[in-house]
Structure 1
Amino acid sequence: MTQFKAYETVFHGEPAIGLQAGKYEAIMLAHVGGNLIAFRDNESGYRFLREPAESEMESFKSNPGVHGIPVLFPPNRYEDGRFPWKGKVLNFPVNEPATGNHLHGFLHTAAWEVEEFGVAGHESFVTVKIDVDEQHAIYQYLPFRFTVKLTYSLGADGLRQHLFVKNNGEEEMPCLLAFHTAVNVPFAQGSSSEDCTAKLTIGKRWALNDRMLPTGEFQELSKEELLLQGEGISPFFAAMDNHYTAAPQNGRNRMELTDRKEGAVLVYDVGTSYKQWMVWNSGAAGGFFCPEPHVNLVNAPNVDLPAEEIGLFSLKAGEIWEETSRFYVKPI
């Protein structure tokens, strides 16, 4: 009989919520960016997400961007920290000196609140949230009243992620999000990266300038990128910090990581609201890569292209945006 549990626990000294659904296990660090830091198949010995070691916890907490599933809001880079919005200019701190840009927004370093955890039907779940208003530190940069809720549910079909954003204020607000999802390559203990190929529903590649900002032009895909788009290729074929449009295939927008030795495929189906992909592999160093679903083009408010084309989404007073993603394993 499948066992479902949701419980308080500790991850390397940090308070956490643990989920169990049969062979699957997940761990949420609400107070460190609402980060789902672990998703595991304990029966097969799979660890799908890059987890920090105990000795890495202090560096992880100071820069929680490359482990687990960090929430980016607004995501990626903004030129000189400038964020033009509805006739005003919001000013974000320049936190990437090498490019002179603001990078990754404010939610992945913020403390989230655990709203609820438990078992519902054939899933265990946890919901974390962050409410921003005039009293919240984030309000000085994003002067809007809003709520972000993130629910992870674990069941026999893997891990489901539900993201909910509501504008609680009166002014129209930007709704720009991404996940800097760090996927282990390989995810199986007995495999190597040479056993693995990745496939993503990428479309066109955006040209980036020397500050890693889109020029508005596209670059031709290389033969390796065509394989990434098609039958699959090692995610370490070259150093990647590349930005692409999303081009759903067969109605779905997803990353697939195939382990030929295990005969297993990890599917990360992110939903079609994510109009762009960022793919980063830490200089092709191996061990992990980040297929990052983005709502919006990098630096979108500073780019003179149609809002719908670049995912420059907004929420008016009382409006809600939500999307559901899923991780699951299928046989080759």
Structure 2
Amino acid sequence: MIFLENDSLKVWIKPKGAELRSLVNKKTGIEHIWDADPVFWGKSSPVLFPIVGGLKDSSYVYEGKSYTLPRHGFARDNMFEQVSRDKNHATFKFSSSDETLKVYPFHFDFYITYQLEGASLSVLYKVVNIGKEKMLFSLGAHPAFAVPFEKGEAAYDDYSLAFDEDENLKRWPLSAEGLIKTQPSDLSLEEGKLNLTKELFEEDALVFKSLKSESILLKSDKSENYLKFTFKDFPFFGIWAAKNANFVCLEPWCGIADSVDHNQDLSQKEGINELAAGQSFERSWAVEVG
């Protein structure tokens, strides 16, 4: 594990997948990251690259050739190299290889940087196209935050997600294969808040397109403690928890699962990003605790 610390936070990062495994508020002693209990879900904050969600039939076509990729891609299951570090930050790198080229025909360097500043942790993703042709990719975050924050303090159902903008939420349902259905359904908020319940995720993740909000506050009215999640320029967003598990994932995405009627052409995939040779792409999110 790679350890970072400042006056407010302690953070541990696992080199496999450059995955955030722990975020402790030193003032309260609260651990805010899900403990990756494999009984429910054995991950804590995987990165989604070079696809987000599932592909139709787990495959795609590019320039007439078919390739197979698992849900959410392969970056989360590979070792990242640590390229720089001090007590407040660490940068990790994962690059294309002969193995990745078999399933994803693009040359890339992918960096993840963790930076502490006060009671906030920021996570920066940087994708660099080191090939000679344009690159097509998706990118997303999948951090799981432990709920409730403290044992005995409040129940899961006492927590809510408050959006910073007025939202008329349209949920895009997922098929049994994890593909996006063709018609959304309305999801009601109460005073701008989405109340957490275990039943909320009985039909898989809540998937949204084009949220107006750029931050979400996770909090219980029974406690002063909070978690503020900030994101920008992510056109898609997911909220998810495993069945009966005490966490909630807040997932900003630059990309989305295939639709049920997609033709599997990667260049025509909804939300796909194009990156010219030699160019880079950056997105970031942050979490503040108090």
TM-score (norm 1): 0.76
Q: Where in structure 1 are there 5+ consecutive unaligned residues?
A: 1-15, 94-101
Counterpart residue identity of residue 117, structure 1: R
Paired with 1:90 and 1:177, the residues of 2 have a C-alpha distance of 21
Question: CA offsets per residue over residues 206-254 of structure 1, 9 Å max, x none?
Answer: 2433322123x23221xxx3217922312434224232213123xx2x3
Q: 2:100 aligns with which of 120, 138, 141?
A: 138
Question: CA offsets per residue over residues 261-319 of structure 1, 9 Å max, x none?
Answer: 222321111222x1112222213x141122221111212697379x8993211111011
Paired with 1:229 and 1:83, the residues of 2 have a C-alpha distance of 42
1:127 and 2:122 matched: no
1:107 and 2:107 matched: no
Paired with 1:37 and 1:27, the residues of 2 have a C-alpha distance of 6
Question: CA offsets per residue over residues 175-201 of structure 1, 9 Å max, x none?
Answer: 201122111111234423233112357
1:316 maps to which residue? 276
Paired with 2:190 and 2:73, the residues of 1 have a C-alpha distance of 28
1:79 maps to which residue? 56
Question: CA offsets per residue over residues 24-46 of structure 1, 9 Å max, x none?
Answer: 1000111x211011111132021
1:214 maps to which residue? 180
Contact kept? 1:45, 1:188, Cα under 8 Å:
no
1:161 and 2:123 matched: yes
Runs of 4+ in 1 over 6 A off after TM superposition: none
Q: Give 3-state SS (helix, strand or coil) of 2:189's partner.
A: helix
1:326 and 2:286 matched: yes
Contact kept? 1:49, 1:183, Cα under 8 Å:
yes
Q: 1:48 aligns with which of 32, 55, 68?
A: 32
TM-score (norm 2): 0.86
Q: How many residues align?
A: 281
Distance 1:138 1:229, change over 3 A: farther
Contact kept? 1:162, 1:324, Cα under 8 Å:
yes
Contact kept? 2:83, 2:91, Cα under 8 Å:
yes
Counterpart residue identity of residue 242, structure 2: S
Q: Give 3-state SS (helix, strand or coil) of 1:108's partner.
A: helix
Q: Where in structure 2 are there 5+ consecutive unaligned residues?
A: none
Relative contact order higher in (CA < 8 Å, ≥ 6 apart): 2
1:265 maps to which residue? 226
Paired with 2:174 and 2:158, the residues of 1 have a C-alpha distance of 31
